[in-house]
Amino acid sequence: MLKDVGPVGVIGAGSWGTTLAHVLASKGLKVNLWVFEEELCETIRRTGENSIYLPGYRLHQGVCALSALDEVTAASRLLIMVVPSHVYRGVVKRMLPHLREDAIVVNATKGIESDTLLTMSGIWKELLPKRNRVQLLCLSGPSFAREVIAGIPTAVTLAGQNLKITRQVQQVLSTARFRVYSSLDVIGVEVAGASKNVIALAAGACDGLSFGYNARAALITRGLAEISRLGVKMGAHPLTFSGLAGIGDLLLTCTGDLSRNRTVGMQLGQGRKLSEILGGMRQVAEGVITAKSIHSLAVKMDVEMPISERVYRVLYEDKDPLLVVRELMDRDLKHEMEYDPEIYAVNDKSAAYRL
């Protein structure tokens, strides 16, 4: 375990950030939770409950809610980022002057920045000074906040390029009911975590259209195929997408009733307009924002992502969900797996296929 880890800083008090703060405090660690809304911060201090994002759950007394971002940043070597992707860059800029030289940053936000098409780690790399010592990790996997905070067994993946540091943080984050696996594939874990939200919108629309289990299973499988194509093109290891951060998180988000992205997709399939759906939501459905980023990224990287492309059209071009389903089904027939030695340059040709 990390020596002298000190207070852990959790940046963002949505449902996931609050849950991670509670999990770590339950291990006996002191946790500083940065809360953007000052009124909510005061409520958490007074009642020990996040009444907006996790009503009904009493937080461990080791969680200290703070509204001063500079204070939380300066006090913590280990920082866990859990703010929405569309405000991520702004929060990082505010943190930089107060960041410790030996800081370890764990990105638990799932998204791709719209303008730059950078992952969350990519944003840090762009903004950090050259030759810095800051370690960047990524936490992802099938993990509904309400189940984790309720103590239901959960397993996730922590990725980092420094295996020693990654394993040390793995020990810090793990509990008897929150099992953390380690990985070296940061880009793969980040791409999988962001892209699965887009496929979850499609899965929700599929259910909203009452297409049944066959269609949903096919959509999830082919969704994984295009996520894998994009990730491998960006330098990820193909096996990452067969793990918790890949198929694990995808299955959860596409089928679980607690999934905000699936819920939005379902309502789209039932004929409601996006503006109407989002107007009634307090929390962010990251897939709505990420759909635009993934669409642009697929074009830039020249990667075929037919499901993600249709989700983009439904969200941003007001296309009829039923019509885009017909487009998907009417495409030219093809092999399920295509041999591509340029992408999978491996000796065993049985593994040199892409989905």
Ordered by start, the domain boundaries in the chain are: 8-184, 187-354
What confidence score (pLDDT) does residue 77 get? 97
| Superfamily name and number for 187-354 | N-(1-d-carboxylethyl)-l-norvaline Dehydrogenase; domain 2 (1.10.1040.10)
Q: What is the pLDDT of residue 72?
A: 98
pLDDT of residue 16: 97
Please, are residues 277 and 181 in contact by the beta-carbon 8 Å criterion?
no
Exposure letters 77-115 (e unless 16+ CB within 10 A, then b): bbbbbbbbbbebbebbeebeebbbeebbbbbbbbbbbee
Q: How confident is the model at residue 349 (pLDDT cuts 50, 70, 90)?
A: very low
Q: Is the pLDDT of residue 74 over 90?
A: yes
DSSP 140: E
Cα distance between residue 289 and residue 108, in whole Å:
17
> Binning pLDDT at 50, 70 and 90, where does residue 342 land?
low
State the alpha helices, DSSP H only, in 209-319.
213-233, 249-255, 260-269, 274-279, 286-301, 306-316
| Predicted confidence (pLDDT) at residue 140 exceeds the cutoff of 70 | yes
What whole-number distance in Å separates Cα of residue 47 and Cα of residue 58? 8
Beta bridge partners of residue 181, listed in sequence order: 157
Q: What is the pLDDT of residue 2?
A: 73
User: Which helix or strand (DSSP H or E) is residue 155 part of?
Assistant: strand 154-160
Residues in a beta bridge with 32:
9, 64
- Strand-pair partners of 138: 107, 159
pLDDT for 337 = 82
17-29 pLDDT tens trace: 999 999 999 999 9
The per-residue pLDDT for 131 is 86
Residue 83 and residue 289 in contact, taking contact as beta carbons nearer than 8 Å:
no
Indicate the range of 171-185, 231-245, 283-297 predicted with least confidence. Answer: 283-297
Residue pair 307/203 in contact by the 8 Å Cβ criterion: no
The arithmetic mean of pLDDT across residues 152-172, rounded, is 98
- pLDDT class of 285 with cuts at 50, 70, 90: confident
**Mean pLDDT, residues 68-89:** 97
Residue 97 pLDDT class (50, 70, 90 cuts)? very high
Residues 249-282: b if buried by 16+ CB within 10 A, e if exposed: bbbbbbbeeebbbbbbbbbbbeeeebeebeeeee
Q: Is the pLDDT of residue 341 over 80?
A: no
- Residue 221 pLDDT > 60: yes
pLDDT at res. 339: 57
pLDDT mean over 63-71: 98
Average pLDDT, the chain: 93
Residue 350, pLDDT > 50, answer no
State the average pLDDT over residues 169-179: 98
CATH class of domain segment(s) 8-184: alpha beta
Q: Which residue has the higher pLDDT, 280 or 181?
A: 181
- Residue 175, classified by CB atoms within 10 Å of its CB into exposed (0-12), middle (13-18) or buried (19+), is middle
Strands (E), 16-153: 31-34, 63-66, 78-81, 104-107, 135-140
pLDDT at res. 348: 47
* Per-residue pLDDT at 245: 98
Share above pLDDT 70 across residues of the chain, in percent, rounded to a whole number: 94
Write down the catalytic residue from 30, 196, 273, 292.
196
Say how many C-beta atoms besides its own lie within 10 A of residue 156's C-beta: 22
Q: For the chain, what is the total number of helices (H) and then of strands (E)?
A: 15, 10
Residue 346 pLDDT > 90, yes or no? no
Q: How confident is the model at residue 281 (pLDDT cuts 50, 70, 90)?
A: confident
Q: Is the pLDDT of residue 289 over 50?
A: yes
Q: Which residue has the tokens 């996040």?
A: 50
3 is catalytic: no
